[in-house]
């Protein structure tokens, strides 16, 4: 599905709550990617969250299928979890599926990816930034084209889109109309115009979050609920509608 804003860049916003979904749409998002645990790069959300976001917003929602953080080389049990989550998300109203599976040698796990793509149909499939962990992003891109994957999210095999901008541009040119190449990873208001201009991409993936203070009045600061390296207990991140609106003004 294309942008809801005529003749403009399609903006996909990463969200992990209903609050963020509403804010992203208010700011001008065309599509959402729903996941949880952004501290670990994003993992599968709950079915309840997917269903609640589906009821809350009218734009398309793509849902992450990733059973854990860490690498993208999964056991048989983890693959079974992915297949079960995929079916549940489709039943909960997902408009697309986001996934990524690699083999131990750093190539796309073509056999398992093909199985999940088949399970997802008729929903479109995005291969996420697992491609940035492959041994050759161009080899991986061709594999994904052959598997019928609809879109790939990438930072060009680098830590951020700015570091990978030349590679992304080459991927966009090589992909043509066979698959959508969507830059994501480190896009900010200050660099989004450059990313769009230098890559030639027609879709971008952003977060645009802010810190939101907890509603708790009583705060027991002696008892952390996370590990030693942890997020603050009395605030959380949520999408900032004003930041998404800024992206829309800059590239729309």
Global pTM?
Answer: 0.90
How many domains in the chain?
1
Query: pLDDT tens for residues 179-209?
Result: 999 999 999 999 999 999 999 999 999 998 8
Domain that holds residue 86: 10-251
**Phi-psi region for residue 244, left (φ > 0), alpha (ψ -120 to 50) or beta?**
alpha
CATH no. for residue 70? Answer: 3.20.20.380
Q: Concatenate the DSSP letters of all residues of 218-245 into one string.
A: S--TT--SS-SS---TTEEEEE-HHHHH
- Position 3 in a domain: no
Q: What is the four-CA torsion angle of 12, 157, 89, 242, rounded to 10 degrees? A: -20
Does 183 fall in a domain? yes
7, pLDDT greater than 60:
no
Tabulate helix, strand, coil % of the chain (nearest 5).
40, 20, 45
**227 in a structural domain:** yes
Rounded CA gap, 223 and 83, in Å?
37
User: Residue 1: inside a domain, yes or no?
Assistant: no
Q: What is the mean pLDDT of residues 216-228?
A: 77
Residue 5 lies in a domain: no
Give residue 1's pLDDT band: very low, low, confident or very high (50, 70, 90): very low
């Amino acid at each position: 599905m294309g942008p809801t804003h005529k003749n403009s860049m399609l903006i996909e916003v990463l969200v992990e709550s209903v609050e963020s979904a509403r804010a992203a749409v208010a700011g001008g998002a065309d599509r959402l990617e729903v996941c949880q645990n952004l501290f670990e790069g994003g993992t599968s959300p709950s079915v309840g969250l997917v269903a609640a976001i589906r009821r809350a917003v009218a734009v398309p929602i793509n849902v992450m299928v990733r059973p854990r953080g860490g690498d993208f080389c999964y056991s048989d049990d983890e693959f079974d979890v992915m297949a079960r989550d995929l079916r549940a998300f489709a039943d909960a109203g997902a408009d697309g599926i986001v996934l990524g599976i690699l083999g131990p040698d750093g190539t796309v796990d073509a056999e398992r990816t093909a199985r999940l793509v088949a399970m997802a149909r008729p929903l479109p499939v995005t291969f996420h930034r697992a491609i940035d962990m492959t041994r050759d992003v161009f080899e991986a891109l061709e594999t994904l084209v052959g598997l019928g994957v609809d879109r790939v999210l990438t930072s060009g095999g680098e830590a951020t889109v700015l570091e990978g901008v030349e590679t992304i541009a080459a991927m966009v040119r090589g992909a043509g109309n066979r698959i959508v190449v969507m830059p994501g990873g480190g896009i900010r208001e200050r660099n989004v115009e450059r990313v769009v201009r230098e890559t030639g991409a027609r879709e971008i993936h952003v977060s645009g979050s802010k810190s939101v203070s907890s509603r708790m009045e009583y705060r027991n600061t002696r008892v952390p609920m996370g590990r030693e390296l942890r997020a603050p207990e009395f605030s959380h991140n949520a999408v900032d509608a004003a930041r998404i609106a800024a992206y829309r003004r800059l590239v729309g």
